[in-house]
Structure 1
Amino acid sequence: MTAPSIFFQPQDQERYAGKAVAPIHAVADEPVSTFSIDVDTGAYANVRRMLNQGQRPPVAAVRTEELLNYFRYDYPVPASRAAPFSITTDVSRTPWNKDTRLLRVGLRGYDVGASKRPAANLVFLIDVSGSMNSPDKLPLVKSALNLLADRLTPRDHVSIVVYAGAAGIVLEPTSDPAYVHQAIDCLSAGGSTAGGAGIALAYATARATRIPGGINRVILATDGDFNVGAASDESLEQLVKRNRDDGITLTSLGFGQGNYNESMMEKIADVGNGNYAYIDSALEARKVLDDELSATLVTIAKDVKIQIEFNPAVVSEYRLIGYENRALAEEDFKNDAVDAGDMGAGHQVTALYEIVPTGAAGWLPARHFAANRTAAGAASGSELAWLKLRYKLANGAASTLVERPVKASTIASAVGPKGDQAFAAAVAAYGQILREDSHFNGFTLADTRRLAGVQSDYRRQEFLELTRLAEQASTAR
Structure 2
Amino acid sequence: MPGVAPTQAAMAPPLAVAPVPQNRERYAGKDVSPVHMVQSEPVSTFSVDVDTGAYANVRRFLMHGNLPPEGAVRTEEMINYFRYAYPRPDSREAPFSVTTDVAVTPWNPQTRLLRVGLRGYDLPRDARPPANLVFLVDVSGSMNAPDKLPLLKTALSGLAGELGPKDKVSIVVYAGAAGLVLEPTSDPRKIRAALERLQAGGSTAGAAGLKLAYNVARENFIKGGVNRVLIGTDGDFNVGVSNRDDLIAMIEKQRDSGITLTTLGFGQGNYNEAMMEQIADHGNGNYSYIDSALEAKKVLGDEMSSTLFTIAKDVKIQVEFNPAAVSQYRLLGYENRALREEDFDNDKVDAGDIGAGHQVTAIYEIVPAGAKGWIGPRRYDKEAAKAKGPAKEMAYVKLRYKLPDGDTSKLIARPVAASLLQTARAPSGDFAFASAVAAFGQTLRGDDLMNGYSGVQIEKLAGPQSGYWRQEFLKLVDIADSLESPDKGG
Normalising by structure 1, we get a TM-score of 0.96
Read off the aligned partner of 1:402 and give its amino acid letter.
Answer: I
Residue 461 (1) aligns with residue 484 (2): no
Partner of 1:293: 304
Deviation, 1:454, is: 0.2
Partner of 1:422: 432
CA deviation map 1:81-118 (0-9, x unaligned): 21111100000010000110000000000112322211
Read off the aligned partner of 2:319 and give its amino acid letter.
Answer: I
Residue 104 (1) aligns with residue 83 (2): no
Given that 2:86 and 2:99 are in contact with CA atoms closer than 8 Å, whether structure 1 keeps it comes out as yes
Given that 2:322 and 2:394 are in contact with CA atoms closer than 8 Å, whether structure 1 keeps it comes out as yes
Q: How far, CA to CA, are the matches of 1:79 and 1:297 in structure 2?
A: 21
Rate the CA distance shift 1:63–1:457 in 2: closer, same or farther, 3 A.
same
Of the candidates 432, 436, 444, which is equivalent to residue 442 of structure 2?
432
Structure 1 unmatched runs, 5+: 1-9
Deviation, 1:166, is: 0.3
Residue 311 (1) aligns with residue 322 (2): yes
SS in 1 for 2:298: helix
CA deviation map 1:335-388 (0-9, x unaligned): 1111111101111000000000000000001213x3685325623331111111
- Percent of paired sites with the same residue: 65
Partner of 2:384: 374
Rate the CA distance shift 1:57–1:231 in 2: closer, same or farther, 3 A.
farther
SS in 2 for 1:102: strand
SS in 1 for 2:349: coil
CA deviation map 1:29-54 (0-9, x unaligned): 10010000000000000000000000
Of the candidates 169, 182, 205, which is equivalent to residue 180 of structure 2?
169
Given that 1:54 and 1:474 are in contact with CA atoms closer than 8 Å, whether structure 2 keeps it comes out as no
Given that 1:312 and 1:379 are in contact with CA atoms closer than 8 Å, whether structure 2 keeps it comes out as no
Question: What pairs up with 1:389-428 in 2 under 5 angstroms?
Answer: 389-428=399-438
Partner of 1:82: 93
More displaced 10-residue stretch of structure 1: 348-357 or 222-231: 222-231
Read off the aligned partner of 1:210 and give its amino acid letter.
Answer: F
Partner of 2:44: 33
SS in 2 for 1:403: strand
Given that 2:454 and 2:481 are in contact with CA atoms closer than 8 Å, whether structure 1 keeps it comes out as no
Partner of 1:55: 66
Question: What pairs up with 1:110-149 in 2 under 5 angstroms?
Answer: 110-149=121-160
Deviation, 1:234, is: 2.2
Partner of 2:3: none
CA deviation map 1:4-43 (0-9, x unaligned): xxxxxx9621000011000000000100100000000000
Partner of 2:102: 91
Read off the aligned partner of 1:240 and give its amino acid letter.
Answer: I
Partner of 1:7: none
SS in 2 for 1:122: strand
Deviation, 1:471, is: 1.3
Given that 1:34 and 1:330 are in contact with CA atoms closer than 8 Å, whether structure 2 keeps it comes out as yes
Q: How far, CA to CA, are the matches of 1:184 and 1:379 in structure 2?
A: 66
Partner of 1:251: 262
Residue 180 (1) aligns with residue 191 (2): yes
Rate the CA distance shift 1:154–1:11 in 2: closer, same or farther, 3 A.
closer
Read off the aligned partner of 1:414 and give its amino acid letter.
Answer: A
Partner of 2:12: none
Structure 2 unmatched runs, 5+: 1-20, 486-490
Partner of 2:397: 387
Rate the CA distance shift 1:372–1:190 in 2: closer, same or farther, 3 A.
farther
Rate the CA distance shift 1:183–1:19 in 2: closer, same or farther, 3 A.
same
Question: RMSD over aligned Cα, in angstroms?
Answer: 1.3
* Paired residues, number: 465
More displaced 10-residue stretch of structure 1: 22-31 or 372-381: 372-381
Partner of 2:222: 211
Partner of 1:5: none
Read off the aligned partner of 1:88 and give its amino acid letter.
Answer: T
SS in 2 for 1:422: helix
Question: Where has structure 1 moved over 6 Å in runs of 4 or more?
Answer: none
